[in-house]
Amino acid sequence: MTGIAFVGTGFVADYYMTTLANHPQLRLTGVWDRDEARLTEFAGYWKVHRYATLEEVLADPAVTIVVNLTTPESHYTVNRAALVAGKHVYCEKPLAMDVDEASELVELAREQALVLGGAPANALSEAHALCASLLAAGAIGTPRLVYAEMEDGPVFKANWREWRSRSGARWPGVHEFEVGCTLEHAGYAASWLVSLFGPVAEVSAVSALTFPDKGPGTERLHLGPDFSVGCLSFRSGVTARVTCGLAAPRDRSLTIIGDKGTIVVRDLWDNRSPVHLEAFGAKRSLQHRILDWVEWKVGRKLPVRLYAGNRVRYPAKAKTAALPAYPSKIDFVGGIAALAEAITRGETPFFSGATARHLTEIVLALNSGRQGYRPRDL
């Protein structure tokens, strides 16, 4: 078994605890958080060992992988400390808040012969595997254009102050508004895109704070962008548009358009999301034809959304035993498990090193609204 320790016991840590049972080859040695009250609450709820200090975590020989679940501003510091202590690291997105710091971490891991991996794990999902198999089989010919949506709906208008995780952690809404939704969520789309189509050659983006009033208690805060849209040009020739926001209706879909048809993944946050395939020129389903006929008759668009093509069957039953509730149906610990397996085999997992930095660089460019930005080589 591989020993892992959580550093950070906030809202997202409960998602990791929920999916830990899916990977019995991993053993949680304990958890630590700088917030003593939160640490006590989390450790008590899950009945897990609590470390007294970060130094105790890093000194524990039973810990092979440090799982960094702290806030983004602390990622670089904790990652570096763990690597210096000789621990492999799996970090929540992003690796760091600065590209040079992310590069420093990648180089430090290389020098120490350690593996530095990064979230998110949704690109290790069964939906991703199904989509990749369709592309490999040439189901839609050569991919040309992609639309990736990461819209979370008007979260700031909801009763978010009452949201709690399983162990009682408050949803960190104020902090998320300060950091910006792009840094928090765009990685879920970028991880799919890079793993399917390879490295990005250029990013051109626009970001903005479109709703500066996020409610009582946020008036004096320096809020990050709550909207971004970017165009990613891949070296493989694919072009993708990525949107991310906190106002438009919830939409986490992915549409891939090839020269022979389209693939639509309904929800990038769903481990077994419905996946639809449509070949150009194929006869449309009866539902689509009826809807088209009705809309022509009434002379307006109806409030009904049908996905083009036929739903593709998964090759087998779901392998994952436990997932968080909707909308976060992701096997969060899947990324840690992949990293642990690669370490055991002496291999390098896909979402580590330069790839993790590449994703961080893309997301930072989207968040800042960079034009014509060229990420470093993988």
**Angstrom distance (rounded) from CA 366 to CA 378:** 18
Q: What is the mean pLDDT of residues 71-91?
A: 97
Average pLDDT over every residue of 144-169: 95
> In this structure, are strands 227-234 and 239-245 parallel, antiparallel, or unpaired?
antiparallel
The arithmetic mean of pLDDT across residues 188-216, rounded, is: 96
pLDDT range class, residue 24, cuts 50, 70, 90: very high
pLDDT tens digits for range 102-122: 999 999 999 999 999 999 999
Element (H, E) at 244: strand 239-245
Reply yes or no on whether the pLDDT at 319 is more than 90: no
Residue 356 near residue 95, CB atoms below 8 Å: yes
Cβ-based neighbours of 124, under 8 Å, separated by 6 or more: 331, 334, 335, 338, 351
pLDDT score for 320: 65
For the CA atoms of 146, 147, 150, 156, what is the dihedral angle to 10 degrees? 160
* Architecture field, domain 125-331+356-368: 2-Layer Sandwich (3.30)
Mean pLDDT on 187-211: 97
**Span 314-343, mean pLDDT?**
91
Q: Considering the chain, what is the average pLDDT of its residues? A: 94
Element (H, E) at 89: strand 88-91
Does residue 129 have a pLDDT over 80? yes
Give the residue extent of every domain in the chain. Answer: 2-118, 125-331+356-368
Beta carbons of 235 and 199 less than 8 angstroms apart: yes
What's the rounded Cα separation, in Å, for the pair 252 and 266? 7
* pLDDT for res 255: 98
- Bridge partners of 310, per DSSP, are 277
> In the CATH scheme, what is the code of domain 2-118?
3.40.50.720
| pLDDT value of residue 318 | 66
∠ CA(41), CA(42), CA(47), 5° rounding? 105
Instruction: Kindly indicate the confidence band of residue 43, based on its pLDDT and cuts at 50, 70 and 90.
Output: very high
Mean per-residue pLDDT, 209-231 = 90
